[in-house]
Amino acid sequence: MRFVADAMLGKLARWLRMMGYDTLCAADMPVDDDDLINIAVDEDRILLTRDQELYERAKSAGVSAVYMNGKDIVDQLVQLVRELDLDLQESPSTLVCPSCNGRLVEVSKKEVVGMVPATVLDTHDRFWVCQSCGQIYWEGNHWKKIRETVRMVRERLTQE
Ligand SMILES: [Zn+2]
């Protein structure tokens, strides 16, 4: 399952990448609505949008599309789990860079010496590097936030 999101869904795009989903976002590329529909068709991606008109156009062009009506990230993830059976990953072995959608590969601690703060090096053992933008990741505080959000999404799913 791969996605292309409109420019209003930048935050959702980052979350989907953190959960391992290849997600392009219009906020990162110079594209218009026609381009988004073409990308969805050419690359077999599901279009995510908050734009009713774009949603209707995508549907009539035969593109799989979801009209996102949630107000916050928990609402939006709940909607995707319901409509697409999205799998909520909460493991740091995610393979997609949250900032650029590049591929992450795990590297040894030795390879990141001098590239991350010494305190991080002392307290972490697993590191990942983005093949596209070079950003280095480790299992830091943001994973707590991811687990917390995933917990809230699961809670919401069982309540309703
Ligand atoms: Zn990257």
Domain boundaries, the chain: 3-84, 104-159
- Give residue-wise pLDDT tens across range 12-38: 999 999 888 999 999 999 999 999 999
Checking if the pLDDT of 123 tops 60, the result is yes
> Which pLDDT belongs to residue 131?
93
pTM recorded for the entire structure? 0.84
| 51-86 per-residue burial string, b: 16 or more CB within 10 A, e: under 16 | beebbebbeeeebbbbbbeeeeebebbbbbbeeeeb
Q: What is the mean pLDDT of residues 93-102?
A: 82
> Which pLDDT belongs to residue 75?
95
98 Cα–ligand 1 center, Å: 7
Checking if the pLDDT of 140 tops 80, the result is no
101 Cα–ligand 1 center, Å: 6
29 Cα–ligand 1 center, Å: 14
8 Å CB contact between 91 and 71: no
CATH class entry, domain 3-84: alpha beta
- Res. 94 pLDDT band, cuts 50 70 90: low
28 Cα–ligand 1 center, Å: 12
Average pLDDT, the chain: 91
DSSP code of residue 116: S
